[in-house]
Amino acid sequence: MRRLLTVFFGFLVVAAPAAAQEKPVDVNFGFGWAFPVSGFKDSFDTGWNGGIGVTFNVSEKVGIQGEYMYTRQGGPDKTITLSATPVLAATTSSGVIESNHQMHIGTFNLVYKPTGGKDTAVGGYLLGGGGIYHRIVQLTTPSVGYTSVCDPYWYVCYPALVSVDQIIGDRSSDDFGINIGGGITFGREAKFYIESRYHYVWGKTVTPSVSTLPSDGSTAASTCSGGCNTNASYIPLTFGFRW
């Protein structure tokens, strides 16, 4: 019995350091900027993002990450021409529409750490995967009257005059997207990281109502007459901690 206990405790002494090196779960949280790119940046400005995630390490170099992220981007104020009636009159005035774009994002990613479990002060990782992007667009204005607006990233395309009340409000869409990127870590136990990714989201198609198409062939009508997609891409730069 004494010999068995000696062997058992000896095994614990040897196995404990090895088990300590095998960290099964990593937690991360961070905040930073979100930079819209391509056509998305024509409707919205640079914003901010934050997120929290959990990575399950299936080996020293490979992990599976589940992450929640929130992104908010304000839009430039858009000046609109207002008419007092639904028929364009000689007497018009100007107004403004304010906008913002928000995303609640859930992703699942594959994480690869080239250095694995080595105790290094500076490390790095690559990650990529897919997820669901719940997109919300909010439009507000103090203006009243009738106007025409066609901006697919607002989920709005009214080439003919409609009441401003039809344009303002909240709209949302649940879309699938992918992300790929990587980061650099500093530290051993609790790690500070700098990360950048490319996100691409496939959005729905926005098509103007046939009854609202103007007869003069204006640019607003021709822009989305065949339907405009709302695919969006952006690049967040995130600073945070992993442990």
For the chain, give every domain's residue range.
23-242
- Predicted confidence at residue 41, as pLDDT, reads 95
From CA 3, how far away is CA 59, in angstroms rounded?
Answer: 34
- Regions of the chain where pLDDT drops below 70: 1-22, 88-91, 117, 209-223, 225
- Predicted confidence at residue 210, as pLDDT, reads 57
From CA 62, how far away is CA 56, in angstroms rounded?
Answer: 9
Kindly report the pTM of this predicted structure: 0.84
Which residue carries 């198409």 as its tokens? Answer: 213
- Predicted confidence at residue 91, as pLDDT, reads 62
The answer to whether residues 74 and 100 touch, using CB atoms and an 8 Å cutoff, is: yes
Q: Is the dihedral of CA 132, 178, 99, 97 positive or negative?
A: negative
Q: Which two tokens stand for residue 27?
A: 């937690």
Radius of gyration of the chain (CA): 26
SS (H, E, C) the chain: CHHHHHHHHHHHHHHHHHHHHCCCEEEEEEEEEEEEEHHHHHCCCCEEEEEEEEEEECCCCEEEEEEEEEEEEECCCEEEEEECCCCCCCCEEEEEEEEEEEEEEEEEEEEECCCCCCCCCEEEEEEEEEEEEEEEEEEECCCCCEEEEEEHHHCEEEEEEEEHHHHCEEEEEEEEEEEEEEEEEECCCCEEEEEEEEEEEECCEECCCHHHCCCCCCHHHHHHCCCEECCEEEEEEEEEEEC
Reply yes or no on domain 23-242 having CATH 3.30.530.20: no
From CA 22, how far away is CA 116, in angstroms rounded?
Answer: 10
